[in-house]
Structure 1
Amino acid sequence: MAQQSWAMSKYRQIGFLMEAGQDVDPNEYQNNPERIDKLLSAGVDYKDKKKRYWVDKGHDCFAIYARGLNITNSDRPVYWQWLTDSDGIEMAKVVKTRWLEVRGSFWTMNLSPNVPYKVSFRTRIDNTPYSTMNGQSVNLRLTLPDGTYQERQAELPGKKLQDNDPWYELEVGQFNMTAQNVGKMEFAMEQLFGRWRAGLVIKSVQIKTM
């Protein structure tokens, strides 16, 4: 039974690799397990560059990139600028805003069952004299399929001294992937500022094991 469960898990994970556009065979884990495990651990970006999939400790994890989020006024260059990193992933940067509203959703049936997860925004503050969002408070909300929700306030990160510093993870909430939580999960970052603010960069929302 354990061997059958392991095989089903591998088929499922290879299915995610194929969905992302990776060139793999459904039965490849049998004759080339090292390559499959390496791909799963390193992770793969979906071809539309809106999502990423990887496996951590045997469990499914996802990142939803900024282009896969609903960001109010992100189509207006006066408020938001789209930057591209070395991997071709687009990031959203606040040019100026007084109303920050970033929303997204995810279907949890893609996650591993009976596993604790956390949801976090991956952010940083642009290191320029015009950045004024460092240390500002924002409201975070996570709504789960079982009808419960979590709300909290958190501070945005401070300015980074170097562009290659790690991204800052702003945790929205935590949950257990139970049968009751199979469905659509929603998350948000919102804040009304007293004056124009600038400099926040959003790369993704990560849904990963704790």
Structure 2
Amino acid sequence: MTSSHRKGSTEGTNRVRDGGAVHVSPLELDITWGGDGRYWRIDQDRRIAELIQVCWLEVNGSVEMHHLQPNTRYKLEFKIRLKPDAFGWNDSPVYIMAMPGKGTKCIWASADLSKIRKGEQTCSIPSRLEFTTPSSSVADDKMSFGLFEIWKGRWKGGLVIEEVVISKV
């Protein structure tokens, strides 16, 4: 039986580049309703996730802590674009979450996607979510992160996720 939720690839595609930044492909993300083509289009070739329409936006991912330096300040960015026909973002802020390792608190920031110009230009979700990694972590520890809009119950669409970038501040 297939699931209407999409479990991201775990084949180690997290790549460390650009002076220690970690780039996460949308193909690695767990996407609620991402396994159903009525709601999301996952383009394996272009390595993007395109939101067709949902009323429950929930996207989760993780990065192994060994990719990040201990006791270092980082920022989390979702690189996105809004298609010209994007809809449903007015009065529906999205929330970005980071939890830098086991036993740490979740850090949240909100952003208003209705302020982003629609079109083919890639931008970062306009919210600087910054966090400091713990001074030590266990070998299998992960940094978890997510993008959410699950509270308003309004239909929204036209969001394209191009990548998630975790970089030093």
Which structure 2 segments of 5+ residues have no match?
1-10
Give identity over the alignment, percent: 24
How far residue 195 of structure 1 moved from its aligned partner, in angstroms, is: 2.6
**Larger helix proportion of the pair:** 1
Change (3 A) 1:127 1:52: farther
**Alignment partner, residue 51 of structure 1:** 14
Query: Does the 8 Å contact 1:98/1:195 carry over to 2?
Result: yes
* SS of equivalent to 1:73: coil
Structure 1 counterpart of 2:34: 74
Give 3-state SS (helix, strand or coil) of 2:57's partner.
Answer: strand
Contact 1:112 1:177 (C-alpha < 8 Å) held by counterparts: yes
Q: Rg: which structure is higher?
A: 1
- Post-superposition CA distance 1:165-195 (Å, at most 9, x none): 2322454632233423563111111112433
**CA positional deviation for 1:158:** 4.2
2:88 and 2:81 map into 1 onto residues whose CA distance is: 10
- Could you give the per-residue CA deviations for residues 116-173 of structure 1, whole angstroms, max 9, x where no partner exists? 2111111111112xx104453012221122422212222125454642x232245463
Name the residue aligned to 2:73: 116
CA contact (8 A) 1:142 1:149 kept: yes
- TM-score, structure 1 length as denominator? 0.63
Q: 1:197 aligns with which of 146, 150, 156?
A: 156
Task: Specify which structure has the bigger relative contact order, considering alpha-carbon pairs within 8 angstroms and separated by 6 or more residues.
Answer: 2
Aligned to 1:166: 122
Q: What do you get for the CA RMSD once the two structures are aligned?
A: 2.5
Give the partner amino acid of 1:141.
M
Residue of structure 2 equivalent to 1:142: 98
- Report the number of matched residues: 154
* Correspondence 1:58-69 to 2 at 5 A: 60-69=20-29
Residue 136 of structure 2 aligns to a residue whose secondary structure is: helix
Matches within 5 A, 1:23-102: 50-56=13-19, 60-83=20-43, 88-102=45-59
Q: Is the 8 A contact 1:125 1:158 kept in 2?
A: no
